[in-house]
Amino acid sequence: MNASLAKKMSFLVVSVVFICCCRSHGVTAANKPIQTFVIPHSHMDVGWVYTIQESMHAYAANVYTSVTEELSKAEDRRFIAVEQEFFRLWWDTAATDSHKRKVRQLVKEGRLEFIIGGQVMHDEAVTDLDDEILQMTEGHGFLYETFGVRPQFSWHVDPFGASATTPVLFALAGFDAHLISRIDYDLKDTMQKNKKLQFVWRGSPSLKEKQQIFTHVMDQFSYCTPSYVPFSNSSGFYWNGVALFPDPPKDGVYPNMSVPVTKETVHAYAKTMVENIKQRAAWFRTNHVLWPWGCDKQFYNSSVQFNNMDPLMKYINQNSKDFGVTVQYATLGEYFQAIHQSDLVWELRGSEDFLPYSTEPHQAWTGFYASRNVLKGVARRASAQLHAAETLFTRYRISFPDGPVAKDWALDKLRALRWAVSEVQHHDGITGTESPKVADMYLQHLLQAMMGVEELLTAIFSSYSSDALEQHVIVYNPLAWNTTTIINFTVTFPTAAVFDDDGQPVPAQIQRSAQSNATYDLFIVVELGGLQQRKYLIKFSEKECSGTLKCGWTYEAKGVLFERLNVRDWLKTGRRLLPVLNQCYKLMFDQDTNLLHSITYLRVRMTQDFWEYHANGDVKAGPISDNYIFSANGSAVRAYEAVAMEIIPGKIVTEIRQLFFREEGDQDYAFSITTRVPECFGSRLPCHRLEQTYSLGPLRLNTEVVLRTSSSLENNKTLYTDDNGYQMMKRTHRKFANNTVARNYFPMVRTAYIEDELSRLVLVSDRAHGVSSQADGQLEVMLHRRLWNNLAWNLGYNLTLNDSSVVRPTLWMMLGSVSATAGLYQREAIELQHRPVVMPIDQPREFVLPPNLHLLSLSIPGWNYSSNHSVHLSNDMRSEPDYDRVLLRIMHLFEEGEDPELSKPVTINLKDVLRGIGEVKVLEERSLTGTRDITSLQRWKWKTADNLETSDAFTVTISPKEIRTFFVHFASRNF
């Protein structure tokens, strides 16, 4: 087996033994041969083992060069292009004018088809809704500008499990059908046997049939051509062999090239191919078979591929009566068109997803939910920075169209960060399943692009002069909601006073930093309107606050240290409880353990600490954990032997610092929890939010560390986690013959909670993690992993996850009734992701949406195309960017019935809502990625058992879970 296929795993574990289950499947009841759609493709990971630059050099550029040449030689040949990052790099840096002319013609003829159309084939478990939309929008805009085409189908063949959010987004983008592959091995086997691999998926329980989509699950062979042929030791139908790194061979001879198709071998090839086609046909309801021809890194030498497949297909068709099979090159669209025309009635699937994913009894792909925590965190921070920069640049352009910031330079900075954030959404990117050098590549691209956007923000905002003892601070709220919150700065002076732009003192608190004895944490209470900035002045002093320094409301908080306690001395606990109170909670800390003892909300008992799973590193000793797989080697054990605690009572926030030591005698702590309990200022500062930041690492080798929150809630080990930050999924604990712990882990992108009849405990996160409820009342979050094993291909590709980093994720915790938290957690998760940004600027008017609506996007994409499709096709494409078209997306946060008020549809007048930004002249509603006019979008209809047949131009009604997308044109401003 090609080593690169080991990761693509167990659909080949069946070793592809061709048991001829032909029986009567050679012809249908109508005596028609099986119609086989041979779909040539190359799966090109945007990352994984090799960097993008290495892949472009070794094979990816050759794929598009050689495919373009070969498709142009014969009209029946086809190819599907999937990952746009590689295609765009080829188009912009390698394609000749001749290649570009040929591609345009092939696209026009429908023989080269763009599938998905996003920058990457994004992961579905740990990606955030915002970023999935971004990477699709990036690719779709390029394709529409360049070719006037809009993808209609997905090819999500390699993400590790399938979420219910992805088909909803694809439907909103105008897709007609969806294709997935990686689902649980045992579930796929059952679906195959019962011919249920195709269905209509209603991914959202609120949108239901409005955004349903036909879905095809690939059979056990997945997206790769069978690699085994009985008459050859080579790779079957991959006549171009296996890609070579770092350089392609100059003579064009690659390893493992298959036996050529000749007069002597054609019948054996045909027999093997036909038997496999018939085996697949037995698993589907129609006589159409999708036969993917390709795999990872294929078609870099397309001439040898097509020159062997052409005579093989011709031979099969010449003998189709005997074989009972016909074959044809096809695009995915041609296959789905045939399925659609079959006019069958399809079973419905509701909003349940296909997570988690397992390939074998001991191979639960739940480890990657927590792999490479640093990368996951940087990717989310970059996304949040991009969101803030997009809204700020959009407002700047509308207010100052001829301002001093060069618009082309600004757009270049934004596009670089769009590209970097899109790129890392790849299913071997943000998942943490890539090699160390590829992880470094993603981080480098993200950090460089973030620095570029910082330059843009510096250019947009006025700079303020200051001396060493004064600092002007501008705080920007990137959300379309009014907010009162606490911001935190690290400063070098022990005393500070804070004033607003009217010279009035602002509530603030200063204390010695937990990170360094030489710095201080300054907390400031800020009140901001939606998309609004406010200026603050901070005056510092090296002395204690005195009459000569106007201290304002600044409170100097002092810490109280508690005795460090060893776990082995915990004999009697709960005797000495220390309360920390605010207007929402009473937290009790146990001075016999230095742990949290309880939170008073209907008297919920609760503890929090760190536990770890010990992983097996020897494949000869049993199942192993790696980048992808979590295979618990027994139950978790306590990860520490001693705990220290410091409490810093404050007027703004009370901070509890807990330090956990691996061994009793250790001087340095291994883990920490910093809990901030805010005081309530007025009625708007949320006291229900307990903000926790953790520090973990470096870990010991072969350990996976979890934060375990144990409570008195009676949840029966039932958990709720979010699908991509879009909707919540109920996760019922299941018992398995093997690997029960790992198979009950789920991805947490933004939110997870447990509940009973009285209370709900909610966690919202600043990055993705794995989460589980392994015992009643328990919420367990996997925060960090460090692993090494001796599996040959892990060592060969450096995929052992020897991650020695220190990670510092943040979770916000809420405890309350089910009804009270239902109206909070969606907004809290977004407020955590889009925290206030610090920068200088003049103060504009605010832009505020109702509390159940979220401003998903406000940006200037720069696309140059007409909103009218026919006009766009008749004009030259990809000319100068359009700086006046604004892309606006608004999302309803709540499900149907989730809250008695917040779940109601909302009607708003966008002209009124946007008045704080500018005067709206034209409003056009578009598909999710902007390339289609929603009024002319006609998606395919699929027959199901319950198929349903559905004023003011600026007034729109947004229903639960809807995402509405618009192009907005503002009136010009003359100054």
Q: Active-site positions?
A: 158
Number of other residues whose CB lies within 10 A of the CB of residue 468: 9
Burial 919-943 (b: 16+ CB within 10 A, else e): ebeebbbbbbbbbbeeeeeebeebe
Residues 6+ apart with CB under 8 A from 759: 601, 602, 604, 713, 815, 816, 817, 818
Burial 13-32 (b: 16+ CB within 10 A, else e): eeebebeeebeebbeeeeee
Q: Are 221 and 182 in contact (CB under 8 A)?
A: no
* Sign of the alpha-carbon torsion through 24, 28, 32, 33: negative
Distance CA(546)–CA(495), nearest Å, equals 10
Q: Are 782 and 704 in contact (CB under 8 A)?
A: yes
Q: Are 204 and 168 in contact (CB under 8 A)?
A: yes
Give the position of tokens 């579905």: 124
Give the position of tokens 């979220």: 854
Tell which residue, 765, 653, 663, 668, has the closest CA to residue 709. 765
Distance CA(833)–CA(280), nearest Å, equals 45
* Sign of the alpha-carbon torsion through 423, 219, 310, 72: negative
**Does a cis peptide bond (omega within 30 degrees of 0) precede residue 167?**
no
Q: What is the DSSP letter of 297?
A: T
Distance CA(949)–CA(970), nearest Å, equals 36
Which stretches of 326-473 are DSSP H helices?
A: 332-341, 373-399, 407-423, 436-460
Q: What is residue 694's three-state secondary structure? A: strand
- Interhelix angle 61-71/84-93, rounded to 10 degrees, is 80
Distance CA(90)–CA(60), nearest Å, equals 8
Q: Which tokens is 641 given?
A: 């032997």
Q: Are 500 and 524 in contact (CB under 8 A)?
A: no
Helices (H) and strands (E) counted in the chain, each on its own, are: 20, 46
Q: What is residue 965's three-state secondary structure? A: strand
Q: What is residue 820's three-state secondary structure? A: helix
